[in-house]
Amino acid sequence: MKRTFFFSFAVIILLAVLVYARASVQDIIITPTQPSSLTINVWTDKPAGATFYPGDNIHIYFKTSQNAYVTIYDYTTDGNVRVIFPNFFQRDNFVKGGMVYVIPNPNYNYNLTVSGPNGREIIEAVASTTPIVQPTLPSNKAFGEITDGPNYFQKLKLEITGKDVAVGVTYFYVGFVPLTGIVHFESQPSGAKVYVDGIYEGLAPLDLQLAEGEHFAVFWYDGVSVSKSFYVNPNTYNTVKAYLYPQQSYNFSVNFNTSPPGAMIFVNGRMLGISPCVVSLAGGTYQITIVKPDYSTIVTQISVNQNQNFNFNLYRLSF
């Protein structure tokens, strides 16, 4: 008889619910900070954004473009994180490029079955050419469990910064079919690559039908990226714009300070330093993302037209 493991925890822990309420899609989804020839695709039995119901069996498939070490995380509907690959049964996370792998592996006697609570579940696969994200294997459980959710992903972003890493994402809804709206994505210049919730969708301008709720888009053009968080209301038409321009010669010294120090400073999606730090920027408008483990993420815009200082106060998350 096959052993069955539920894909979402059936018991809602109050602390996990509170963490989930504060977590944003941007906190969960990792955007690599540099291009890589390594790629990874991850998918389930149904297209991204489809609905599974409690009791449905589910399979997770993935494939890398070259030999790599792979870790796959499941951000559950109750705000917890599980490491579903490697696991108690499939303990080796080194995979061969071009081969399709599946969880659960048919050579092992177990199933994955969807359970509640209702919500959106995110599957995130991280591949690297070296075992930099090798997790601790579970000793007496099928899957490793991580209880600090968004805080864990913030630490992981710091760990893989500047390394040869690829990320693949898929997601599904548990227990309900969400209402949808239409989102128009536009970039200046046009032709930017658009990723929504970690999935490549095409070149701007384009229109997408997306489920109600929070989403996260990244626009890439000529080596420059801009990140946008946005919310979709049902039965509405929304527009998300990004202004991207090729890298220019730098003109001004911009000093970033945070209290407390030690935060990662992202400028238009690229990590340029850890606070306190000074970076050189041409005049213009930039999107700034400030990330520090255990603290809330800051996303804002700045205008640069001279040598400037920017100071940010970070607020510790309560768990």
Q: Give DSSP secondary structure letters for 265-297.
A: EEETTEEEEESSEEEEE-SEEEEEEEE-TTB--
Answer whether 101's CB lies under 8 Å from 198's CB.
Answer: no
- Return d(Cα 207, Cα 49) in angstroms, integer: 16
Answer whether 296's CB lies under 8 Å from 315's CB.
Answer: yes
pLDDT tier at 135, thresholds 50, 70, 90: low
Q: What share of the chain is helix, strand, coil (3-state, %, to 5)?
A: 10, 50, 45
pLDDT tier at 21, thresholds 50, 70, 90: very low
Distances, alpha carbon 194 to alpha carbons 12, 100, 197, 202, 242, in Å = 35, 25, 10, 6, 10
Ranking 9-23, 207-221, 253-267, 297-311 by mean pLDDT, the lowest is: 9-23
- The whole-number pLDDT of residue 138 equals 58
- The whole-number pLDDT of residue 5 equals 54
- The whole-number pLDDT of residue 162 equals 66
- The whole-number pLDDT of residue 17 equals 30
Which tens digit of pLDDT belongs to each residue from 221-257?
Answer: 887 788 888 999 999 999 999 988 765 555 788 999 9
* Residue 39 vs residue 156, higher pLDDT: 39
Residue 57 has pLDDT above 60, yes or no: yes
Residue 139 has pLDDT above 70, yes or no: no
Share above pLDDT 90 across residues of the chain, in percent, rounded to a whole number: 37
- The whole-number pLDDT of residue 16 equals 30
DSSP-derived secondary structure letter, 162: T
Which tens digit of pLDDT belongs to each residue from 266-288?
Answer: 888 788 889 999 988 887 778 89
- The whole-number pLDDT of residue 34 equals 60
- Return d(Cα 271, Cα 289) in angstroms, integer: 9
pLDDT tier at 15, thresholds 50, 70, 90: very low
- The whole-number pLDDT of residue 157 equals 72
Residue 98 has pLDDT above 50, yes or no: yes
Task: Work out whether strand 199-203 and strand 193-196 pair parallel, antiparallel, or are unpaired.
Answer: antiparallel
- The whole-number pLDDT of residue 281 equals 85
Provide the mean pLDDT of the chain.
82
- The whole-number pLDDT of residue 144 equals 76
- The whole-number pLDDT of residue 161 equals 67
Question: Has this prediction a pTM greater than 0.85?
Answer: no
Which tens digit of pLDDT belongs to each residue from 282-315?
Answer: 877 788 989 988 888 898 888 887 889 999 999 8
Residue 4 has pLDDT above 70, yes or no: no
pLDDT tier at 3, thresholds 50, 70, 90: low
Ranking 38-52, 147-161, 209-223 by mean pLDDT, the lowest is: 147-161
Amino acid 17 reads V
Which tens digit of pLDDT belongs to each residue from 99-123?
Answer: 999 999 888 888 888 987 899 999 9
